[in-house]
């Protein structure tokens, strides 16, 4: 840019000189410097340096006066500031610096994950996995601003290759040795899934390499489904392996299958679902919601650890201990607000801006539109819950006693089914009005009503009403599944709520034709 300005000035007579002419061509525009992102980045760098040094001193046995909690919060805030700067500063020097930082953090994360210190492999995974996640975020921020194809191609291929290696190492390691999968292989496979999904979405499925990578994710997941079932059926002790580790590998493999199919297939419902997911994740909605949920989940996790460390006040830690973590004030309070935020704009915004008519002129019907928006909301809802579950991985990674994780599998079933009921209810209310605020208030009222059924059941005098309210209470459903029990009759209400709300939403959209 500076060279262009210099060349034009050297080839033009100075103003006021003999023979000079007034410039009539458009002046060369110079981009404004991103002052706010650079200020936030500078503050973030200072916080990250302070927090990182304090955390490092505490880890090597040289405690500092600020303790541990404050440096960790400062480090997290500093990294958020650096990510903000990396995402909005297009200057070549800064974006290349963040590219180098991303590669360094990726190598550092891989080394920490493979370092058998102080005792065995995976002891440093508590630091390696955050490094790999942060490396991905910095590299994606770099790709957002980079315009040279060479650097973009290299970075994208590094992301895809790292994801493939992590996925294969985690799943194959868990298949060969079940003890490796929890928690090391599980973390590897999840990080690999995120890396592969980022690679495909960044290049786009129109690119051949990204398209085949998405298909490869589905095939890899299907392969491990077959291998896990084969080992569980054929080998000696396969039933024990299936109950202890095979179910979790099947769950992760299913995530690979669904992610690959959703990103590669060109069915209208998948195309529209990707469109809706883009509207979520290319706007601040998903990130603010995830940050808020992770923030309150952190408070819930700290309170959970406090209850475990004080058995005299809260009683001994009896399995399933995860019940104390999930059934608490913070997650229930937060979910009441999360559902309206995720659903209030789904159809209200389409009707307000007039894009609903444009959408329905495409070769899709109302049912496809409703199902795609519902699936996108469900995926975002489950992603928002991800940090809440990842906190539990910190217990075995930090050397804590292993706990029974199998109630989390039954709770996941309840979480998906109740989440489907919540999202379908919010989608229905969003179809009734063009005002997002009105849609959000209606959904918030519905969530309050569903939450109140748990307390109303305790105060119900007649057994009939007590039974009805218990069937309607999602808290009661979570409570029973966290004890390892899945009672189909308790799932029936939310399955019915999902079907009825989706049906009514389709009919509301079809009513536009009746006029």
CB 453, CB 366: distance < 8 Å: no
Any idea how long the chain is? 515
Mean local confidence (pLDDT), 110-130:
82
Is the pLDDT score of 114 beyond 60?
A: yes
Domain residue limits, the chain: 35-89, 267-303+317-515
* pLDDT band with cut points at 50, 70 and 90 for residue 258: very high
Q: According to the per-residue pLDDT averaged within each range, which of 156-170, 291-305, 320-334 is highest?
A: 156-170
* pLDDT band with cut points at 50, 70 and 90 for residue 444: very high
* pLDDT band with cut points at 50, 70 and 90 for residue 314: low
Torsion sign over Cα 78, 83, 89, 92 = positive
Residue with tokens 């102080």: 118
Cα separation of 515 and 511, whole Å?
A: 7
Contacts 24+ apart (CB under 8 A), 311-320: 319/403, 319/404, 320/403, 320/404, 320/407, 320/482, 320/483, 320/484
The chain-wide mean pLDDT, for the chain, equals 85
**pLDDT score at 373:** 94
**pLDDT score at 334:** 87
| Tokens, residue 325 | 């973590």
CB 339, CB 423: distance < 8 Å: yes
CB 87, CB 143: distance < 8 Å: no
CB 502, CB 425: distance < 8 Å: no
Mean local confidence (pLDDT), 395-409:
68
Is the pLDDT score of 394 beyond 80?
A: no
Q: How far is CA 318 from the centre of its chain?
A: 30
Does 453 or 127 have the greater pLDDT score? 453
**pLDDT score at 313:** 64
Which residues contact residue 69 at a Cβ distance below 8 angstroms, ignoring those fewer than 6 apart? Answer: none
Mean local confidence (pLDDT), 224-243:
88
* pLDDT band with cut points at 50, 70 and 90 for residue 441: very high
Cα separation of 392 and 398, whole Å?
A: 10
| CA dihedral of 342, 375, 420, 223, whole degrees rounded to 10 | -130
Q: Using alpha carbons only, what angle is made at residue 172 by residues 171 and 173, rounded to the nearest 5 degrees?
A: 90
Q: How far is CA 29 from the centre of its chain?
A: 39
Going by C-alpha positions, the residue among 217, 225, 227 that lies closest to residue 250 is 225
Torsion sign over Cα 106, 111, 117, 123 = positive
CA atoms within a 13 Å half-sphere pointing along the CA-CB vector of 105: 20
| Tokens, residue 94 | 């800064």
Going by C-alpha positions, the residue among 164, 151, 160 that lies closest to residue 198 is 160
**pTM of the model as a whole:** 0.82
Going by C-alpha positions, the residue among 219, 274, 215, 225 that lies closest to residue 252 is 225
Q: What is the 3-state secondary structure (H, E, C) of 188-221?
A: HHHHHHHHHHHHHHHHCCCCHHHHHHHHHHHHHH
DSSP 393: G
* pLDDT band with cut points at 50, 70 and 90 for residue 24: low
Mean local confidence (pLDDT), 271-287:
84
**pLDDT score at 304:** 80
Cα separation of 357 and 331, whole Å?
A: 38
Whole-angstrom distance between the N-terminal and C-terminal Cα of the chain? 57
Range of weakest confidence among 250-264, 396-410, 464-478: 396-410
Mean local confidence (pLDDT), 489-504:
93
CB 184, CB 125: distance < 8 Å: yes
Which residues contact residue 293 at a Cβ distance below 8 angstroms, ignoring those fewer than 6 apart? Answer: 334, 338, 384, 385, 387, 388
Q: What are the tens digits of pLDDT across the range 205-224?
A: 889 999 999 999 999 999 99
Mean local confidence (pLDDT), 253-265:
92
Does 144 or 321 have the greater pLDDT score? 144
Percent of the chain with pLDDT over 90: 42
Q: How far is CA 475 from the centre of its chain?
A: 23
* pLDDT band with cut points at 50, 70 and 90 for residue 315: low
* pLDDT band with cut points at 50, 70 and 90 for residue 9: very low
CB 238, CB 274: distance < 8 Å: no
Range of weakest confidence among 6-15, 184-193, 478-487: 6-15
SS3 call for 354: coil
Range of weakest confidence among 33-42, 237-246, 324-333, 426-435: 324-333
Cα separation of 335 and 417, whole Å?
A: 14
Q: What are the tens digits of pLDDT across the range 317-376?
A: 677 777 777 877 778 888 899 999 999 989 988 888 888 877 777 778 889 999 999 999
Mean local confidence (pLDDT), 180-186:
85
Q: What are the tens digits of pLDDT across the range 56-106?
A: 887 777 766 766 678 888 888 899 899 999 999 989 999 999 999 999 999
**pLDDT score at 399:** 54
**pLDDT score at 292:** 84
């Amino acid at each position: 840019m500076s060279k262009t300005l210099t060349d034009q000035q050297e080839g033009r007579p100075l103003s006021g000189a003999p023979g000079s002419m007034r410039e009539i061509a458009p002046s060369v525009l110079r981009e404004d410097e991103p002052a706010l992102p650079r200020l936030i980045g500078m503050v973030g760098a200072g916080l990250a340096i302070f927090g990182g040094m304090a955390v490092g001193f505490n880890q090597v046995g040289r405690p500092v006066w600020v303790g541990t909690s404050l440096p960790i919060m400062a480090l997290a805030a500093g990294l958020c500031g650096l990510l903000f700067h990396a995402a909005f500063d297009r200057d070549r020097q800064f974006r290349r610096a963040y590219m180098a930082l991303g590669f360094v953090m990726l190598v550092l994360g891989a080394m920490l994950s493979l370092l058998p210190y102080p005792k065995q492999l995976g002891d440093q995974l508590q630091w390696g996995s955050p490094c790999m996640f942060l490396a991905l975020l910095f590299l994606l921020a770099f790709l957002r601003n980079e315009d040279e194809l060479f650097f973009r191609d290299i970075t994208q291929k590094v992301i895809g290759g790292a994801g493939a290696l992590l996925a294969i190492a985690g799943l194959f390691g868990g298949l060969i040795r079940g003890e490796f999968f929890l928690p090391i292989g599980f973390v590897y496979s999840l990080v690999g899934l995120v890396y592969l999904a980022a690679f495909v979405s960044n290049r786009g499925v129109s690119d051949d390499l990204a398209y085949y990578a998405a298909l490869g994710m589905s095939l890899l997941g299907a392969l491990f489904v077959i291998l896990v079932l084969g080992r569980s059926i054929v080998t000696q002790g396969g039933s024990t392996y299936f109950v202890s580790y095979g179910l979790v590998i099947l769950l992760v493999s299913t995530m690979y299958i669904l992610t690959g199919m959703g990103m590669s297939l060109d069915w209208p419902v998948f195309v529209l679902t990707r469109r809706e997911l883009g509207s979520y994740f290319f706007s601040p909605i998903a990130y603010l919601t995830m940050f808020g949920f992770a923030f309150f989940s952190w408070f819930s996790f700290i309170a959970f650890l406090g209850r475990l460390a004080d058995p005299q006040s809260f009683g001994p830690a009896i399995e399933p201990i995860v019940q104390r973590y999930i059934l608490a004030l913070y997650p229930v309070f937060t979910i009441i607000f999360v559902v309206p935020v995720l659903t209030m704009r789904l159809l209200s915004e389409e009707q307000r801006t007039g894009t609903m008519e444009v959408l329905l002129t495409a070769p899709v019907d109302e049912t496809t539109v409703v199902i795609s928006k519902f699936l996108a909301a469900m995926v975002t809802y489950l992603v928002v819950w991800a940090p809440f579950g990842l906190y539990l991985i910190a217990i075995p990674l930090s050397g804590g006693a292993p706990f029974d994780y199998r109630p989390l599998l039954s709770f996941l079933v309840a979480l998906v089914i109740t989440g489907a009921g919540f999202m379908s209810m919010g989608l229905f209310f969003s179809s009734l009005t063009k005002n997002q605020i009105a849609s959000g208030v209606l959904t918030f009222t519905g969530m309050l009503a569903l939450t109140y059924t748990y307390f109303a059941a305790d105060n119900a005098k007649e057994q009939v009403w007590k039974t009805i309210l218990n069937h309607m209470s999602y808290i009661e459903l979570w409570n029973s599944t966290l004890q390892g029990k899945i009672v189909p009759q308790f799932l029936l209400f939310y399955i019915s709520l999902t079907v009825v709300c989706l049906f009514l939403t389709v009919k509301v959209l079809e009513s536009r034709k009746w006029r």
